[in-house]
Amino acid sequence: MTTLEAQVWRAAAETHRVEVEGELADVVYRRDRGQRHPVDDFLFHYYNLRPSQLAQWHPGAGVALDDAAEYADRPFYSSVDGVARLDVGAFLAKRGATVVTARDLLAATASAAPRFGCFGMHEWAMVYRLEPDETRHPYLQLRFPPDALAKIVEDVGCRCSHFDAFRFFTPAAKPLNLVAPSRDRQAELDQPGCLHVNMDLYKWASKLSPAVPSTVLLDTFRLARRIRRVDMAASAYDLSDWGIEPIRVETPAGRADYVERQKGFAAEAAPLRTALLEIAEDLLNREPSLVRRQG
């Protein structure tokens, strides 16, 4: 157990708060005015953390904070003589099953070969054979009329392996997919070339918080935000009003561009995945009595 002196951890906490508030100033501005955003709305509606929670600093498991009485009442912390630390036993009692699931999926993905042939068609499949006012984002215009959009989906094909994307396919689009992802097959099908799998590192970091250092959590958020921008740029939506130029995956050049971006994100995600996997394993090793599934 490492113990940080008050001046050290308070400086780190303040630095983190300033970084997050700067990162999310536009998010808070739009939220306070009820303005929508096709990238950031996903990050704060689909995932669970609020900006204020992201700004709250945590050192992670195995680090104690001296003179930290304010942490005494925070969830999963214990405090003795003003020294606060994560109560791993309490954390695992509440979130042990989540830690096991995270460990299993992170390990499975880390050992899988990346695949780069989906070309972002999952977002197209979510609007396949729908009228513009029937989509999940009716405030966004589509770049093509429904029949032309459907032909692009059929010509390019659907190769989505991520269940949490596939489950939003329209009923007409699901039979077009080469595989049928399910929750039970997630460990088998998740792979490190998938944009959504790499965005989900933020999901696992948030679910493992406060056992995850806030620096790692913020890194996964930043990666997820940039991935979501590419995810939507490669979609069938017209995002020009938000300054987002399309990645034209309906063309060979656009598909090649998309693949290069996938490869870049896969490389960036790998060390973050390793860090989260090590945290999950460390937590489980601290509580041998916890029943664990094998990955």
CA distance 66 to 170: 53
> pTM for the whole thing?
0.94
Type of residue found at 226: R
Specify the pLDDT at position 190. 97
Confidence category of residue 289, pLDDT binned at 50, 70, 90: low
> Does the CA dihedral 58-61-63-66 come out positive or negative?
positive
Specify the pLDDT at position 210. 97
Question: What percent of the chain clears pLDDT 70, i.e. is strictly above it?
Answer: 97
Specify the pLDDT at position 143. 96
Specify the pLDDT at position 1. 79
Is residue 96's pLDDT more than 90? yes
CA distance 195 to 227: 7
Specify the pLDDT at position 290. 57
* Cis peptide bond N-terminal to 114, omega within 30: no
pLDDT in tens, 3-13: 999 999 999 99
Is residue 288's pLDDT more than 80? no
CA distance 9 to 207: 23
Is residue 293's pLDDT more than 60? no
To the nearest 10°, report the CA torsion of 121, 36, 44, 138.
-40
Is residue 57's pLDDT more than 90? yes
Is residue 240's pLDDT more than 90? yes
Specify the pLDDT at position 295. 39
pLDDT in tens, 192-232: 999 999 999 999 999 999 999 999 999 999 999 999 999 99
pLDDT in tens, 242-257: 999 999 999 999 999 9
Summary mean pLDDT of the chain: 94
Specify the pLDDT at position 132. 82
SS3 152: helix
The long-range contacts involving 197-203, CB below 8 angstroms and separated by at least 24 positions, are: 197/109, 197/162, 198/223, 198/224, 198/227, 198/265, 198/266, 198/268, 198/269, 199/223, 199/224, 199/227, 199/228, 199/231, 200/164, 201/269, 201/272, 201/273, 201/276, 202/43, 202/47, 203/47
